[in-house]
């Protein structure tokens, strides 16, 4: 198997912090999630994560009016200019200080950035080739505290800036003779949003306590008068004319207090406050171009909402797990992913749309493990609250709750192939509990382990349960023979994870000393081992007193998973890397770096010497009050205002790994969220049985001669996707049975796999279903004999057909 997997989507989190933006057509919302950007298509109900990432969490995003460019700024002030068409990074820039907001002007010629107490206006990058993509035009001073938000008038003449000092400032993009830059007061909390009315200088400002102030201007936009050059006041300094480069100061403009003499001399723009109302507390607001939809982001809950005010209903409502995700599993057809989190929620995600469509909230403590039954309609979850629950995906309800005679904290879970036996391991009583799914009754309590049961796994082909424990053993329990211990496998260290190969002929065990050992379950003999401690490559935490190299000696893999064909194994643990090993050769094939986000702890191998002082690391000094990304840990009895809130950095780790049954993707639950890696179809030229006369020209010649079968064979020998699709779609509908019957066996499986991938995206539904039906009918017996190796292909086929069935059945 070739591991040409690449990052394809981020699930499990929809919003972390920063501002929301709508696309140009208003049908998609662009949301920052950690150090990545997700685009949620509200019309087609799907999501996509862009293949670009910053080095720290994103603090703000600005999208150009034409929807082609985005400027993304992280917590340190490092900016990326991204093309939303090609999904590529065009330019890197550093503002050198944290940036709170960024906004393009409606005409697309400028953008304003707010950092500290200053607003900086830059020339926007255009279609012309420029040496400097970010050229500073003017710097505006006025607020006394940090600036927080920006909005422009529709004609790009003026912009408004909100501040933490509870004031709002209106500035001009040009020098307007009758617009003096002064502050608007009236709020009692930090300004979080300011909005101009359409084609007007009238203003709406919103503060963090939910107060909305409405400001009415006595002047229309047309009434602004351009100042003559000689009327320049003394308090506005100007730079020498000439070409400005990135990082130049630009023209400096300062806000001022209007004097009585100036008030008499000129008729200036004046504002008066006409009303204010109160509402709920909010974090980020965005309105789409038509004004029908309002997007809300809540960083504390990780929520993203889109509200249609006319119908008073939600167009879009998504929330990720509030805390870390602990486990995941794929449905048997690969269509859904289920995750369990430390917040006690079980969420079901659609792998095609990337959205969560049902959340189960019955658990009252952390969910430690989740799994599907073989039918694909029942989810089983284990929790530290002492219950194992079964959920029905038809009626979306909790129809079974399994408990133990004495309260126990369940840390592992497994369901047998029939879906009848449910087993869970306890971490405090060292026992394994067995229940019947049919009756819900406790069948047996399996004792014998002398340490917490860390992992359970049923054999895919027999009624045998494997349990790994901290007592340095793996026990194989026979479910048919009075639940007796069939074999005990001795380990060199504490067992952390156990997994059966899809054909049930091999067992992999991860232990505390960083090794993965492979066993034959029939003979109870060890067949090989991999030492993976050095492959984990852990980073150094800011509180660590020893180097990363020394820390790595205590690290190990905590999650294992075989690939769909059983040839390789995925392993992850307390590290930013996921390793893929070849089981037969016992070699490391590839390492995936799941994150490059420096907002997490233990990301770098060496501590930054610039932050080291004689008293310790400056990174440990808590300068925040928990108002950013930090999690607030409330004091007992404190309801409002938290004196204990602090900022902390979560440590990067992989808690669970699973391969999709289709073999096309794999997923990992990490500190960053649920990451899905898919096979990269664009990687390209991978011919099979190539010869000099196998060329696109010779294949098209066979098509002209109407020799369909040999054209198909030649196309699969060249193995170029576009050409294979062209050949298949040229074959007449009535010739399909004949072509299928004359295909050599070696190409039947390849054609079936290709038809499965085409069926997922193509609109030629009946055409590709005819290919599928004929291949299965004519070669069914031969395919059945090799069902083990072609199972991923069949499951990919089933997933594609099921998706089309679900879409059509709604019509």
pLDDT band at 627 (very low <50, low <70, confident <90, very high): very low
- Residue 61 contacts residue 19 (beta carbons within 8 Å): yes
pLDDT range class, residue 229, cuts 50, 70, 90: low
Contact of 455 with 496, CB cutoff 8 Å: yes
Residue 770 structure tokens: 């005819």
Predicted TM-score (pTM) of this structure: 0.76
Phi, psi of 287 (to 5 degrees): -120, 135
pLDDT band at 233 (very low <50, low <70, confident <90, very high): very low
- The pLDDT of residue 650: 83
Whether the per-residue pLDDT at 181 is higher than 90: the answer is no
**pLDDT tier for residue 636 given thresholds of 50, 70 and 90:** low
433: left (phi over 0), alpha (psi -120 to 50) or beta: beta
Render pLDDT for 419-434 as a digit per residue (tens, 0 to 9). 999 999 998 889 999 9
Please report which confidence band the pLDDT of residue 348 belongs to, taking 50, 70 and 90 as the band edges.
Answer: very high
- Please report how many Cα atoms fall inside a 13 Å half-sphere around the Cα of residue 96, on the Cβ side: 3
Residue 643 has pLDDT above 70, yes or no: no
* Whole-angstrom distance, CA of residue 473 vs CA of residue 487: 10
The residue that leads in pLDDT, 249 or 266, is 249
β pairing state of 135-141 and 251-254:
parallel
Predicted pLDDT at 515: 92
Higher pLDDT: 791 or 250? It is 791
pLDDT value of position 647: 57
3-state class (DSSP) for residue 307: strand
Question: Which residues are CB-neighbours of 800 under 8 A, at least 6 positions away?
Answer: 756, 757, 759, 760
More confident residue, 577 or 690: 577
pLDDT score, position 685: 46
- pLDDT > 70 fraction of the chain, expressed in percent and rounded: 88
Quote helix, strand, coil % in the chain, to nearest 5: 15, 40, 45
| Res 249 pLDDT > 70 | no
Residue 615 reports pLDDT greater than 80: no
Task: Please give the Cα distance from 407 to 383 (Å, whole number).
Answer: 12
Cα 696 from Cα 691, distance rounded (Å): 12
Name the one residue in this structure whose structure tokens are 């998609």: 28
What mean pLDDT is predicted for residues 563-581? Answer: 91
How many helices (H) and strands (E) in the chain? 10, 55
Across the range 244-262, mean pLDDT stands at: 60
**Dist. CA 434–CA 441, nearest whole Å:** 9
Three-state secondary structure call for residue 758: helix
Model confidence at 641: pLDDT above 80: no
Q: Name the residue among 474, 67, 27 with its Cα closest to residue 295.
A: 27
Lowest average pLDDT, out of 147-161, 277-291, 470-484, 631-645, goes to: 631-645
Q: Which two tokens stand for residue 598?
A: 């420096």
* pLDDT at site 635: 54
Residue 633 has pLDDT above 70, yes or no: no
What strand order describes the sheet that includes 28-33? 21-22, 28-33, 36-41, 46-49
The pLDDT, as a whole number, for residue 622 is 59
Contact 739, 714 (CB under 8 A): no
Contact 485, 443 (CB under 8 A): no
Which residues have a Cβ under 8 Å from the Cβ of 56 and sit 6 or more positions away?
Answer: 35, 74, 75, 76, 78, 597, 598, 599
In tens, the pLDDT along 778-806 reads 888 778 777 667 777 888 888 888 888 88
| Cα gap 775→793, rounded to integer Å | 13
Three-state secondary structure of 381-403:
EEECCCEEEEEECCCCEEEEEEE
Q: How far is CA 331 from CA 281, 597, 658, 728, in A?
A: 38, 30, 11, 31
Residue 499 has pLDDT above 90, yes or no: yes
Tokens of 470: 């901290």
Long-range contacts of 546-555 (CB under 8 A, 24+ apart): 547/606, 548/605, 548/606, 555/514
Quote the percentage of the chain above a pLDDT of 90.
37
């Amino acid at each position: 198997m070739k591991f040409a997997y690449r990052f394809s989507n981020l699930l499990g989190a929809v919003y972390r912090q920063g501002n929301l933006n709508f696309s140009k057509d208003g049908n998609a919302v662009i949301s920052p999630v950690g150090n990545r950007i997700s685009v949620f298509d509200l019309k087609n109900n799907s999501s996509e994560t862009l293949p670009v990432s910053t080095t720290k969490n994103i603090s703000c995003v600005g999208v150009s009016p034409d929807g082609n460019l985005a400027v993304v700024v992280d917590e340190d002030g490092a900016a990326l200019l991204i093309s939303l068409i090609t999904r590529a990074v065009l330019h890197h820039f550093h503002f050198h200080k944290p940036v709170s907001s960024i906004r393009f002007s409606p005409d697309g010629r400028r953008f304003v950035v707010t950092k500290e107490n200053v607003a900086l206006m830059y020339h926007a990058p255009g279609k012309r080739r420029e040496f400097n993509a970010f050229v500073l035009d003017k710097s505006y001073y006025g607020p006394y505290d940090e600036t927080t938000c920006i909005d422009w008038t529709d004609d790009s003449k003026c912009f408004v800036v909100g501040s933490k000092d509870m004031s709002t400032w209106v500035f001009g993009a040009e020098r307007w003779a009758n617009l003096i830059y002064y502050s608007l007061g009236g709020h009692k909390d930090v300004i979080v949003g300011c909005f101009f009315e359409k084609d007007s200088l009238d203003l709406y400002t919103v503060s963090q306590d939910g107060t909305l102030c409405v400001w009415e201007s006595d002047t229309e936009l047309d009434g602004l008068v351009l100042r003559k050059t000689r009327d320049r006041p003394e308090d506005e300094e100007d730079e020498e004319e000439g070409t400005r480069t990135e990082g130049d100061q630009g023209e400096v403009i300062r806000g001022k207090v209007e004097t009585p003499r100036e008030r008499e001399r000129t008729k200036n723009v004046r504002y008066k406050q006409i009303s204010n109302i109160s509402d709920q507390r909010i974090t980020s607001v965005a309105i789409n171009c038509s004004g029908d939809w309002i997007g809300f982001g809540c960083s504390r809950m990780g929520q993203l909402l889109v509200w249609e005010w006319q119908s008073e209903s939600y167009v879009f409502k998504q929330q990720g797990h509030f805390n870390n995700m602990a486990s995941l599993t794929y449905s048997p057809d690969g269509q859904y992913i289920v995750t369990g989190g430390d917040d006690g929620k079980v969420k079901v995600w659609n792998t095609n749309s990337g959205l969560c469509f049902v959340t189960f909230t019955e658990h009252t403590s952390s969910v430690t493990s989740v799994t599907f039954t073989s039918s694909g309609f029942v989810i089983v979850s284990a929790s530290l609250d002492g219950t194992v629950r079964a959920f029905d995906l038809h009626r979306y309800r909790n129809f079974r709750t399994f408990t133990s005679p004495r309260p126990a904290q369940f840390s592992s879970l497994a369901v047998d192939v029939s879906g009848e036996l449910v087993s869970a391991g306890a971490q405090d009583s060292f026992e394994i509990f067995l229940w019947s799914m049919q009756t819900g009754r406790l069948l047996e309590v399996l004792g014998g382990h002398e340490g917490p049961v860390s992992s359970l796994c049923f054999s895919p082909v027999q009624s045998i349960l494997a349990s790994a424990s901290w007592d340095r053993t793996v026990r194989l329990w026979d479910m048919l023979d009075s639940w007796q211990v069939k074999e005990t496998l001795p380990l060199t260290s504490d067992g952390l994870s156990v997994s059966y190969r899809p054909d049930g002929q091999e067992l992999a065990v991860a232990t505390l000393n960083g090794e993965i050992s492979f066993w034959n379950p029939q003979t109870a003999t060890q067949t090989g081992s991999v030492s993976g401690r050095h492959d984990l490559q852990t980073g150094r935490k800011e509180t660590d007193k020893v180097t990363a190299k020394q820390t790595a000696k205590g690290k190990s893999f905590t999650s294992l998973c075989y690939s769909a064909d059983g040839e390789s194994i995925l392993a992850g643990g307390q590290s930013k890397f996921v390793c893929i090993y070849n089981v037969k050769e016992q070699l490391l094939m590839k390492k995936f770096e799941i994150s490059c986000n420096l907002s997490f702890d233990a990301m770098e191998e060496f501590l930054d010497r610039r932050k080291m002082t004689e008293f310790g690391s400056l990174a440990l000094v808590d300068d925040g009050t928990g108002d950013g990304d930090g999690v607030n840990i409330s004091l007992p009895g404190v309801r409002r205002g938290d004196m204990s809130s602090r900022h902390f950095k979560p440590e990067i780790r992989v808690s669970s790994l699973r391969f999709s049954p289709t073999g096309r993707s794999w997923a990992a639950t990490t500190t960053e969220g649920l990451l899905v890696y898919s096979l990269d179809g664009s990687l390209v030229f991978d011919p099979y049985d190539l010869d000099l006369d196998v060329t696109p020209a010779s294949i098209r010649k066979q098509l002209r001669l109407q020799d369909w079968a040999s054209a198909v064979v030649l196309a699969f020998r060249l193995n170029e996707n576009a050409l294979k699709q062209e050949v298949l779609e040229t074959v007449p509908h009535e010739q399909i049975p004949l072509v299928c019957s004359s295909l050599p066996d070696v190409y039947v499986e390849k054609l079936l796999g290709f038809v499965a991938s085409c069926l997922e995206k193509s609109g030629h539904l009946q055409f590709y279903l005819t290919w599928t039906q004929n291949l299965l009918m004519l070669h069914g017996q031969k395919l059945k004999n090799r069902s083990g190796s072609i199972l991923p292909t069949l499951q990919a086929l089933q997933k594609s057909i099921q998706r089309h069935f679900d879409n059509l059945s709604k019509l």
